[in-house]
Structure 1
Amino acid sequence: MADWVLLGLIGALLVLLLLTLFGFAIYSGLFSEVVVSAGSPPIRNITLAYKFKVGPYGECGKLFTESCSISPKLCSIGVYYDNPHTVPPEKCRYIVGCILSEGEEKPSEDLIRLFQKFGFKIFSFPAPSHVVMATFPFTTPFSIQLAVNRVHPALDTYIKERKLCAHPRLEIYKGDRIYFVCPLARQGDFYVPEMKEMERKSRVAEADDAQTDITGLGRHPCPRKGATLLLVLTALSQESGTRIACAQYSAVLIAPSLPLPRCSFSMGTSLLGQQLPVEFYLERTLLASHDRCAKQTSILR
C-alpha cells in the first residue's frame, strides 16, 4: 500500500512540475501572437554605448550581460547586420549595448565615461522614418529564445513576400517588450564606424578583384573578334548595398578590344516616399567565341 502511495505522490509531483513549466512558457510568450507591420518606428533618435563583434549571433548574450551589469536600468539594444542564413556564422557582424538617451534628451557625461571605461564606444542613430517592426513579450529570460525562434522567421517572410529592402535588424529591450525594428530607409545611418570601415574595405577588395580575369588570363583578357559583349547595368543603393534596378544590353565585338569609358550615374528611387540615392555599377562580361570564357567585371564611378 505504501508503494502505491509513494508512486502516486511522485506522479502528482511530475504533473505539477509539467504544469508549472507549461505555465512558465505561456507567461514567457509561448502563445503570443506575432504581428509584423510597416509604419512609424517605436523609437526616436537614440544615443547608445556599444561593442562591435564579428562571430556567431548566438554568442551575443555575453555582451548583453556585460552591458546590463554596468547599468541595469537602461534599455538594451542589439543590431545585427548580416543575414545568418547566407553569411557564415563566423563572419556575422553585430553590435550590442545600451541606450543612453532618446529624443532630445542628452546622455549623462558620467554615464558615457562609465561605459567608455569598460571599452564601450558611443554612437547615435537617427529616428527612422519608416520601418518593418514586430513586438514580443519580455517577461522572462526564456522570452528571448521564444522571440528569436518566432519573430525573426515572421519578419523574414513579411520582407520577402513584399520584396522590401529592410535592414539592419534592431532588437530593443524596453520594459516588458522586445521591439524588432528593420529600417526601410537611411540604412547606412545605422552602421557604426567599424561596420562602415569593413564595408569600405570590402568594396575596395571587390574593385581590385574585378580587374583580374577569373579564368586566369590576367588583367587584360583579349577576346576574339566576333565575341558577344554583354553589358549589365545594375543600380546599387549606397545606403543598403542592395541592387534595386537592372538593365541588360548585348552587342557583337567587332574589334579585339573594346575599352569602356569611365562614367558615373546618379538617380533617386522612391520607397515609401523616401528618396534613396543610388549609383550604377557597370558589369562587363566578355563571352569568347571559343570554349574558354574570359570574364572581367569593372566598377566604374
Structure 2
Amino acid sequence: MDSTVLILIGIGALIVALFLTVFYMLVLSGLFESVDVKATKKHLLNKSRIIAYKTYKGSYGQVGDAFSWLCRTAPYNDTIGIYYDDPKTVPVDECRYIVGAIVETCVENRMSLEEVIQRLEEEEYQFFQMPGSTDPVEKEGELEKEGESGKGDATSDEGVGTPMVHCTFPFVNTLSIMIAVRRVYPALQKYISDNKLKTGAYPFIEYCHDSTLHFLVPCLDNQRFFVPEFCEENKQFAAEKYSDLVKH
C-alpha cells in the first residue's frame, strides 16, 4: 500500500480518536445529564453557615480566576459563588458577585479548621453569616403572593429552610461548569418565569459539595443573602475575623 495512503489513514484514525475522546469527555462532564429544577426547602443552606468571601464586580466569565485563588487558600472546603445581578439588564462591568468558602466544611484530616481560618484571614477574606432556617408559617403566606403554580412546589416539602429554586449538576472537571452554565441557568430562569417568581427569586447561588454543583435561587428573604458590601443592612452578620462573628 502506498505510504501516502497509510499516512492519510493514520491521520483519519487520529481525528476519529480525538473526536471520540472529546465526545467522551463531554458526556462524562454532563453533556446529557438531566436537568431537574424544582422548588424546595430541603437544600444545603437549611443550616446557617459562615462563609469566607471576597467581593467582585465585572463579567461573570472571570469568576474562574477567583475560584482558583480561593482553592489555593482553602483547598479542602466546599465553595460558594453568589451572583447578584442579571447580566441581561445590568452592564457587564457592573455585575456584582462574591466567591467564597464554607468555613466549617474543611476536611479536618487534611487541614485543621484553625489553619484554614488563619489562611483565609491572611488573604483578607471577609466572613459572613448566611441565613439559616425561617418560620415556615409566615414564609408560606408570603410565597403564595408570588404565583399560584410556584407556591405549591416551593412550600410542599417538610422543613423550615428558605424556599429555593434548586437544581444539581455533576462536577467532574472544568467542562462540567461550562456545560452547566449553558444548560442549568436557562432551565432555572424558565422555571422562575413559568412559576411567576421572576421578581422574587434572586440572587443565583452556586454551591459545590461532594463533586456536585448545587444551584440555588432564594424565593424569600432575598436581601439577606447579600453581603454588607452590597447591602449595608447586613453589616451585623459580617466580620473581618472569624472569631468575632462566632462570638456575635
TM-score by length of 1: 0.62
| Cα distance, 1:41–1:181 mapped onto 2, change above 3 Å | farther
Three-state SS of the structure 1 residue aligned to 2:231 is: helix
Give the corresponding residue for 1:100. 103
Q: 1:47 & 1:94 partners in 2: Cα distance?
A: 17
2:192 aligned to which of 125, 142, 159: 159
Which structure has more strand as a fraction of its residues? 1
Q: Which ranges of 4 or more aligned residues in structure 1 deviate by more than 6 Å? A: none
- Give the aligned partner of residue 4 of structure 2: 3
> What is the RMSD computed on CA atoms of the aligned residues?
1.9
Q: In structure 2, what is the Cα distance between the partners aligned to 1:101 and 1:192?
A: 18
Q: How does 1:280-295 map to 2 (within 5 A)?
A: none
Indicate whether 1:91 and 2:94 are aligned.
yes
In structure 2, C-alpha distance between the alignment counterparts of 1:176 and 1:39, rounded to whole Å: 21
* Runs of 5+ consecutive residues of structure 1 not aligned to the other structure: 200-301
> Greater helix share, 1 or 2?
2
Instruction: Give the match's secondary structure for 1:60.
Output: helix
Counterpart of 1:111? 116
Structure 2's unaligned 5+ residue stretches are 106-111, 133-160, 235-248
Per-residue deviation at 1:109? 4.0
Q: TM-score, normalised by structure 2?
A: 0.75
CA distance in 2, matches of 1:108, 1:75: 13
In the alignment, is residue 78 of structure 1 matched against residue 81 of structure 2? yes
For residues 26-41 of structure 1, what are the structure 2 equivalents within 5 Å? 26-41=27-42
Aligned match of 2:72: 69
Identical aligned residues as a percent:
38
* Partners of 1:36 and 1:2 in 2: CA distance: 55
Bigger relative CO (Cα 8 Å, ≥ 6 apart)? 2
* Residue from 189, 196, 218 that aligns with 1:183: 218
Q: Could you tell me which residue of structure 2 aligns to residue 14 of structure 1? A: 15
Count, aligned residues: 196
Q: After superposition, what is the alpha-carbon deviation per residue over 1:261-280, rounded to whole angstroms, capped at 9, x for unaligned?
A: xxxxxxxxxxxxxxxxxxxx
Give 1:134's aligned residue: 167
Q: Does 1:193 align with 2:228?
A: yes
The structure with more radius of gyration: 1
Deviations 1:8-45 (A, max 9, x none): 11111110110000000000000111111001242122
Q: What letter corresponds to residue 197 of structure 1 in structure 2?
A: E
Secondary structure (helix, strand or coil) at the match of 1:74 reads coil
Contact 1:79 1:171 in 2 (8 A): yes
* Alignment check: 8 A CA contact 2:73 2:116 kept: no
| Alignment check: 8 A CA contact 1:41 1:181 kept | no
**Aligned partners of 1:112 and 1:122 also within 8 Å:** no
